[in-house]
Copies of this chain bind each other. A is one copy, B any other.
Amino acid sequence: MTERLVVIGGDAAGMSAASQARRRRGPDDLRIVAFEKGAHASYSACGIPYLVGGEVADPEELVSRRPEVFRDEFDIDLRLHSEVVEIDLDRRAVAVRDTDTGAGGGGGGAPRWEPFDRLVVATGAVPNRPDVPGVETEGVYGVQTLDDGTALLDAVAEKPERAVVVGGGYIGLEMAEALVRRGIRVSLVDLAGQPMSTLDPDMGALVADALRDLGVELHLGERLEGFEESGGRVSAVRTENRTLPADLVVLGLGTRPNSALAEAAGIPVGETSGIRTDRRMRTAAEGVWAAGDCVETFHLVSRRPVAIALGTHANKQGRVAGINIGGGYAAFPGVIGTAISKVCEYEVARTGLSTTEALRAGFEPVGVVVESTTRAGYYPGALPMKTKMIADRATGRLLGAQIVGREGSAKRIDTLAIAVWHEMTVEEMTGLDLSYAPPFSPVWDPVLITARKTAQRLEELRGRD
């Protein structure tokens, strides 16, 4: 008997799950229907800042697979403009509303019920919006969907003079740079005392310097109070200390799992508000999987549940769900908080726990920062980079690492990430057989130098015990 798989959400997680399930089960065995409420499926939301900044010329370039490819090559019935508004686990059906009817959009008729035997919830994340007056004013943009991206592109085309970015996380910084590239004067407001609060303060300070060099006006440690409007559009951003004129505002305050639909259906969500799954991405409800930004996952170092919205996790989790639905076995092991970003001429990356996170998790962290170069010092194009390692004082285990440096530095975070993953000690790391040639690193790669210096520091501390 043919089963029917319904996928809610047509981006990375949902479409990876659908594709993997199809790879293992043919159309006679498994019908696959995917509902996407927006106008696009399977696109790179992470590419939006580069679209706005002009590095990417056309929104279509961010689409990795066009809808007809899913239909024609994968036999996946992908339906755009189709919002699932309810999951009924007893009826084994979802209620779908057309979002493309009428001039105002937003569903003319009653939702229709679509049955499922198996269900994948891949509803993504919702951007955090500050609870302040004026947040719904025109000209205040989120950066979440490709539709947000094209709206921002239109706004930029009108040559605004001043923009304010609220929030100094990855997206906030990437957007600040994008707007500067468009010739716009940019201010950045963040309640935190540094941009990229997932970095330790000493490393975050380097990022702040990079932003100032780019001409971004930083207002750190300042509470947002609201948005002012003029003629129906945003005209200024008010903080506790000042009023910043703004023709355009970008919100970069992070996201939270979009789990309301699942929760309303009785599918358990965790303390992070992400949907709970096991390693195979199964929810507690029979025959229901979840994947991507809407789920809660496990942090392998802190051993706590976390919700991290990131395309790479979404793709992996979707793949895992799809393999399992297809009758195979796959597991998503968890995350260690690896992230990377480019800010002007600087590359920024982190993995594992920051010092604050390590303390919170009960470790006694020892941090060591080493200044080095991307290539052998004498080789042309050697550029400076700083690497920080955070190790557990008692065991020497690498808990986390951060890199801020010029071109060619930050991808080294992957090396550090696998070391964190395998719970290596910094002393063990000094023996790693990493690649060396003058165009690629000093004879001691920055990773190895930092491991060595951290091991030395731990030894000195032991000497004092």
Contact = CB atoms under 8 A, between A and B. Distances in A.
A312 B417 contact: no
Given A419-B418, A438-B50, A378 B44 contact: yes
B378 A433 contact: no
B437 A341 contact: yes
Contacts of A286: none
B434 A332 contact: no
Contacts of A410: 435, 440
B339 A435 contact: yes
A55 B379 contact: yes
Contact of A431 (B61, B310, B331): B331
Contacts of A336: 433
State the copy count for this chain: 2
Interface residues of A, number: 72
Given A414-B414, A422-B422, A378 B62 contact: yes
A31 to B, nearest CB: 24
Interface-centre pick from A340, A376, A438, A459 (highest chain B CB count, 10 A): A438
Given A312-B434, A319-B430, A340-B437, 17 more contacts: A44-B376, A46-B436, A46-B437, A46-B438, A47-B376, A55-B379, A316-B430, A328-B459, A330-B430, A335-B433, A339-B435, A340-B435, A342-B440, A347-B440, A351-B433, A414-B414, A415-B415
Nearest to A314: B443
Interface of A: 12, 44, 46-47, 50, 55-56, 61-62, 64, 170, 310-313, 315-316, 319, 328, 330-342, 347, 349, 351, 376, 378-380, 408, 410-415, 417-419, 421-422, 427-428, 430-441, 443-445, 447-448, 452, 459
A95 B428 CA distance: 37
Nearest to A56: B378
